[in-house]
Chains A and B, each alone.
Chain A
Amino acid sequence: MVALQTLQAAFYRRIVAGDEQVCCYIKSTAELPATERLSIYTSAYWSRLVEVLATDFPALHGLLGKDDFTELGHAYIAACPSTYFSLRWFGQSLATFLAAEEPWRSQPWLAELAAAEWAFVDAFNAADAAIVDPSEVQQTAPGDWPSMRFEFHPSAACLICHWNVMARWRAYRESSPQPAVETCEPPQTVLFWRYERVTRYRVLEIDEAPLLQQAMQGADFATLCESLANTHAADAVAMRAASLLKSWLADGLVSRLVTGPA
């Protein structure tokens, strides 16, 4: 009698690689031979995982079209089988896969679009955290402002885009005409986050992008102002820094204010 592990290994090979060895363990009936019975499981496996990818990468699916997306899906499933108990993680390597494998590698915007769509998935599933009310900043003593640091919501993450993938993503979502594929000069920094259970994104302004990333790494308000001084007139720095902070608070990006020594 075949051991359970041997049987499961043979069944697994039938599903992922079409190896027919497992057929000898399966009963056939007049209505349905073993191979067709096994194909029910095989078809379900490939179609289910392609469907999961199509759900997590809707614009990539829409822009590639069903046939090309299915071809991509099958290649990805074969290269990166699911190793996690939840399908939530299955698409996590798709952007890397697209960036590395032909024919997709030669269209680098595809990998960037996948990375952007995965950023939405990550933001959707990120941990919950409190949101700082803007009035809390106003109550901060003037002497504490220089040392003020910010903890950001766990869903907040930045992606640098060299291609106009967010414009293409948005056009797909709005069923608008697709803009031609173009590079972004300079590259765009796109912020993804979740606020009030809805995932959001915003293309950061040129001076905001490095500043937000500094703030996310723990820089205090005085350091952020020093950085702004490299690109802004001295009398405009404080106002610009305060304005950016105000928008981060309004966006629900800040989970905690910390003052005092780091």
Chain B
Amino acid sequence: MDPDQGNGVNTDQLQRPFLGYGLGLRPDYYETILTTLPAVDWFEVLSENYMVDGGKPLYYLDRIREHYPMVMHGVSLSIGGTDPLDRDYLQRLKQLAARIEPEWISDHLCWTGLNGHNLHDLMPLPYTQETVRHIAGRVEQVQDFLGRRILLENVSSYVSYQHSEMSEWEFFSAVAEAADCLMLFDVNNVYVSARNHGFDPETYLYGVPTERVRQFHLAGHTDYGDYVIDTHDHPIIDAVWDLYVKSLQHFGPVSTMIERDDLMPPFSELLQELQQARQLGSKVLQAA
């Protein structure tokens, strides 16, 4: 059970900035966002999409940044990889951060390639002390280079390893503690991995250190019956909304963002979904 459940969380004590409710900045919506300036509190940008020399993405990025706070979210850090950290990538990340001054920078707790070859996927890690130490050392290098703490996000996974020594939430927490980094808690990914591996998502939720959680992700997925894939191409399902409510009750106010990356709906539908998150958030946080 959650020892803090129902007690609420004082975010002042946590020194956790609360940005409110945000969406992913995607090319399909650039023009709509710029011309209508919708009621979105902030945008999350996919860092790699803006590591280009010029053109449309940077044009819209700069103009939309004039109106909204932003955070940067990457997919290529490969913090759990065994290749050396990509200095070129880190340099581009730092340049982009200097350009848009994000509230924070995040990436995933995973590996993405080997021997210089990029798989462009969020590959699962074994939950071992060796991996914790390995990643903690790499996070330290990244944080030193960027001059700021980063957020790591739990990924959806479809395999688990025979030699894992702990649960995913113990691993996630151990990495954050050892690396002294912050956490991006992806509610949908917890649901997806819980289904794929047969654990209780609430146990995961209550096993994560409250003070390190800086951001939530919400998203839809595809349910294949025996397994679930994190596709970001559907609306958020009720079970994930329920887990979101429990997450708010446990962690208190956490900046919340909805990811949508495929089968892009009209922007108004995403705004409605964001409004649902906002209403749930207000209800839960007022009751706390």
Docked-complex contact A88 and B114, CB < 8 angstroms? no
Q: How far is the CB of A199 from chain B (nearest CB, A)?
A: 9
Contact of A86 (CB < 8 Å), options: B48, B128, B162, B226: B48
Q: Report the minimal beta-carbon distance from B124 to chain A, rounded to whole angstroms.
A: 8
How far is B126's CA from A171's CA once the two chains are assembled, in angstroms? Answer: 51
**A14 → chain B, closest Cβ, in Å?**
10
Instruction: State whether B118 touches A128 (Cβ < 8 A).
Output: no
- What residues of chain A lie closer than 8 Å to B48, measured between beta carbons? 85-88
User: Is B52 close to A, CB under 8 A?
Assistant: yes
Q: Looking at the complex, which one of B117, B120, B123 makes contact with A87 (CB distance below 8 Å)?
A: B120
Contact, CB under 8 Å: A26 / B121: no
Count contacts on A: residues with CB < 8 A to the other chain: 46
A32-B227, A154-B53 known; A2 and B163 CB under 8 Å? Answer: yes
- Counting chain B CB atoms within 10 Å of each CB, the highest count among A1, A85, A126, A127 belongs to A85
Closest chain-A Cβ to B64's Cβ sits at a distance in Å of: 14
A202 within 8 A of B: no
The answer to the question of A41 belonging to the interface, with a C-beta cut-off of 8 Å to chain B, is: yes
> Are A37 and B158 in contact, CB atoms less than 8 angstroms apart?
yes
Most buried by A among B51, B118, B125: B118
**Chain B residues in 8 Å Cβ range of A7:** 126, 161
Q: Name which residue of chain B comes closest to A82, CB basis.
A: B118
A34 within 8 Å of B (CB atoms): yes
Contact with B along A216-228 (1 / 0, CB 8 A): 0000000000000
Asked if A84 and B162 sit within 8 Å, CB to CB, the answer is: no
**Are B52 and A125 in contact (CB-based, < 8 A)?**
yes
Whether A233 sits at the interface, judged by CB under 8 Å, is: no
Residues B97-154 near A (CB distance < 8 A): 111, 113-121, 123, 125-126, 128, 130-131, 134
A26 vs B196: C-alpha distance when bound (angstroms): 13
Cα-based distance from A154 to B55 in the complex (angstroms): 11
The proximity string for B residues 81-101 relative to A, scoring 1 for CB distances below 8 Å and 0 otherwise, is 110001011001000000000
Q: Does B120 lie within 8 Å of A82, measured CB to CB?
A: yes
- Chain B residue numbers with a CB within 8 Å of A155 are 54-55
Interface residue B243 (Cβ < 8 Å from any Cβ of A): no
A13-32 vs B, CB cutoff 8 Å, 1 = contact: the mask equals: 00110000000111101011
B198 within 8 A of A: yes
In the assembled complex, A9 has its CB within 8 A of some CB on chain B: yes
What 0/1 readout, one digit per residue, does chain A (78-112) give for beta carbons within 8 Å of chain B?
Answer: 00011111111000000000000000000000000
CB of B246 to closest CB in A, whole Å = 25
Q: Which residues of chain A are within 8 angstroms of B51 by Cβ–Cβ distance?
A: 85-86, 88
Of A9, A38, A87, A125, which contacts B53 at CB under 8 A?
Answer: A125
Is the CB of A61 closer than 8 A to any CB of chain B? no
B117 touches A12 (CB 8 A): yes
- Identity of the chain A residue whose Cβ is nearest the Cβ of B78 in the assembled complex: A85
Closest beta carbon of chain B to A172's beta carbon, Å? 22
Which residues from B are CB-within-8-Å of A86?
48, 51-52, 76
Give the chain A neighbours of B52 by CB distance below 8 A: 86, 88, 125
Contact B82 A8 (CB under 8 A): yes
Known: A27-B160, A27-B162. 18 other contacts (CB 8 A): A1-B128, A4-B126, A12-B114, A12-B117, A16-B117, A25-B163, A27-B161, A29-B198, A45-B121, A85-B88, A86-B51, A86-B76, A88-B48, A88-B51, A124-B56, A128-B53, A155-B55, A194-B55
The residues of B with any CB-CB pair to A shorter than 8 Å are 48, 51-56, 58-59, 76, 80-82, 86, 88-89, 92, 111, 113-121, 123, 125-126, 128, 130-131, 134, 158-163, 196, 198, 226-227, 229
A-B contact pairs, 6 of them (CB 8 A): A11-B123, A27-B160, A81-B118, A85-B118, A86-B52, A88-B52
